Structure 1
Amino acid sequence: MLARKHLTPRLEARLRACTTRNGWTLKAALRSGAEQPDSRIGIYAGDSESYATFAPLFDPIIQELAEGASRGHRSDFSLEGLPLEDLDPTGEYVLSTRIRVGRNLARYAFPPAIHAEDRRRLEAEVVDALAGLPEGLSGVYRPLGALSEDEREELKARHCLFSAEDRFLESAGALRDWPEGRGIFTSASQRLLVWVNEEDALRVISMQPGGDLARAFLRLRGALAYLDARLDFAWDPARGYHTSCPTNLGTAMRASVHVRLPCLSSRPGFEARCKALGLAVRGLHGEHSAPEDSVYDLSNEHRLGVSERDIYARLHSGVRRLIELEQTLRGTRRQRRRARGG
């Protein structure tokens, strides 16, 4: 656990009495890690001020997460000069594409620390902004508590419903007063989602069947440009966009594809090969889950010290390279089968 690794007795004594304007303390920040000892990070921010107030602890954790990458965030959603073609136009390898970002609002505490009244105010402010999304992105907002059973089942089937079943978030305090002040915005196309008051105030998600990464990216870019002009997001030049969990600082972006690679994934060193391409490997249902039918979730490994453009470029080139290797292995396997048959 990174929080335990970097929290020396002297540092704990120094920070113990510190508190942010929203009442976030060192004890509150570390509660999830204390209650969930298998946590990788073990610390949450309760507001933007947390990253400055508890900087002596957060900063070395952030630096380790970035694996020595240069600090500082430069947002860049441009795709000029990058490949825009579908990663898998035949649909043989890539099942789906999903890009999401987290955002918090500067003048509110984050979900682990926010009070119920402020959570309702934040929800109303976000819903008002979402109501003006332009054609092609517009849709409806549904409070979690008002969802019918049919709506819940439909959202679950599409892996679009967030729930109160995350023990790390529960220990952090992010699930208090569930489901009050929380909801899901869904565009008419069903390809843009916004979760309100989950781990962060907003989680903006662009989804696409198959491997058209560019289309998913551009849809997300349009939605964020609109929301950024109407909502004051929490950020600073060194850490990028502020998130409850420090793993998401910087771009706060996770761009991923579900891709089937049976030949390549069965060979030794698959995960190391992905890591060398800058990709993180998860199972079909996210972190700590297993693959199903050789389908893996591949995403960008870093969020801080890179731009959104960098994430797109690395994911596109990395997945394309893995598909090429899978095709080579399949071709070799077919040749061997034909040779044995002959």
Structure 2
Amino acid sequence: MRPDSEDDIVISTRIRLARNFAHQAFPRKQNEESAKATSEKIASILQPKHFAYFTMEQLTPLQRLVLVEKHMISPLLAKRKFGSVLLQQDETISVMVNEEDHLRIQSLQPGLRLKEAYDAAAAIDELLEQQIDYAYDEQFGYLTACPTNTGTGLRASVMLHLPALTLTNEMKQLIQTMPRLGMVVRGIYGEGSENLGNMYQVSNQMTLGKSEADILADLQAVTEKIIAREKEAREQLLYRAATALEDRIFRSLGTLRYARTVSSEEAATCLSNVRLGINLGYIEDVAVDTINTCMMLIQRGFLQQYAGSTLHPEQRDTARAKLLREHLIERHTENNETNGEKGDDSYDV
């Protein structure tokens, strides 16, 4: 078994900065004219910097759903009639306009890269602040619609794959412990969302009373401790239940390669198990990048975009299974043929 690396456990890092215009009502109290003026102002600054601009009104429900699934916008912004988003070409930066606050500057990076993600968001923040008068108080810092964001306005988070802590029933205790450390654990889409595929977001809980550097340092330290606990839990599983763990991993791989109908929850669980199998060295003919792609494509919006049509739940389950077979059997067959083995032609791919 190969040792787990940090990036086997940390999927991504996200930095979000909440900002508001001075002397202007927050989005929940804005009228249509003010909301549109806010969007147009931000667009005038960022479009020349190679940002694409989209209003929620011009996007279809499916397009908005895909942006939510890609973590480019929040579920709340997707519902905002006068909301908009500006996306950098490589999609590492998105700026949500008229969500809960006038501005939500968001930076995404793969793996545990808090400083890199923060520096990218701060550069956009500095650019905007040169032309916008932010709502700021000398005592309280940046003023926001929700008091928990007041201060630095910084919400830093890491997305973690924690299957061993979930299997050993340690996640409940970990989630309960986090608030005492000033942190919170949420599902993959943030507040109010559920864990999917053993993926969890860990983020700072408060933004007032700490500097940006302290918030990032605290999250880095907590994340490193969670990584260590996940590695310990994996070692425990290998020591105490290696056969059961191996069986779980390969049953999941079999489901993904041969099932004809798969729900999003089952697919996510199986992909999580296979990812763990790759990390532990059980599975060598599937790449982690393939699992990452599948985790994205099995979601409701992506699946329908991939299919090119609207799908009912039963149709989505069938399409999801076919897509998974295409991504996993084809690669498996190619590897077998490369090694002088004949692929099984009895399965449609």
TM range (shorter): 0.5 to 0.7
SS at match of 2:28: coil
Q: Return the offset for 1:156.
A: 3.4
**Does residue 1:234 correspond to 2:148, yes or no?**
no
Instruction: Give 2:81's aligned residue.
Output: 179
Partners in 1 of 2:61 and 2:226 — Cα distance? 40
Q: Return the offset for 1:163.
A: 5.2
Instruction: Give 1:260's aligned residue.
Output: 161
Instruction: Give 2:214's aligned residue.
Output: 310
Deviations 1:14-73 (A, max 9, x none): xxxxxxxxxxxxxxxxxxxxxxxxxxxxxxxxxxxxxxxxxxxxxxxxxxxxxxxxxxxx
TM-score, normalising length from structure 2? 0.62
Partners in 2 of 1:125 and 1:287 — Cα distance? 29
Q: Return the offset for 1:242.
A: 0.8
Instruction: Give 2:190's aligned residue.
Output: 286
Q: 2:32 aligns with which of 101, 116, 123?
A: 116
Higher RCO structure (Cα 8 Å, ≥6 apart): 1
Q: Return the offset for 1:296.
A: 1.3
Q: 2:106 aligns with which of 194, 198, 205?
A: 205
SS at match of 1:105: coil
Equivalent residues, number? 238
Aligned 8 A contact 2:68 2:75 in 1: no
User: What RMSD in Å do the two structures reach over aligned CA positions?
Assistant: 2.6
Aligned 8 A contact 1:252 1:303 in 2: yes
Partners in 2 of 1:240 and 1:335 — Cα distance? 50
Q: Return the offset for 1:299.
A: 0.3
Q: 2:229 aligns with which of 306, 325, 333?
A: 325
1:1-342 equivalence runs, <5 A: 91-133=7-49, 138-148=50-60, 151-162=63-74, 179-180=81-82, 182-265=83-166, 266-267=169-170, 269-337=173-241
Q: Return the offset for 1:240.
A: 1.1
Partners in 2 of 1:111 and 1:187 — Cα distance? 23
Q: Return the offset for 1:278.
A: 2.9
Partners in 2 of 1:99 and 1:270 — Cα distance? 22
Amino acid at match of 1:122: T
Partners in 2 of 1:300 and 1:164 — Cα distance? 20
SS at match of 1:216: helix
Aligned 8 A contact 2:6 2:227 in 1: no
5+ residue gaps, structure 2, are: 245-349
Partners in 1 of 2:43 and 2:242 — Cα distance? 60
Amino acid at match of 1:193: S
Amino acid at match of 1:121: A
Q: Return the offset for 1:165.
A: 8.3
SS at match of 2:57: helix
Instruction: Give 2:317's aligned residue.
Output: none
Cα 1:339/1:124, change in 2 over 3 Å = closer
Partners in 2 of 1:306 and 1:145 — Cα distance? 38
SS at match of 1:190: coil
Aligned 8 A contact 2:12 2:111 in 1: yes
Deviation larger for 98-107 or 124-133: 124-133
Partners in 1 of 2:150 and 2:218 — Cα distance? 18
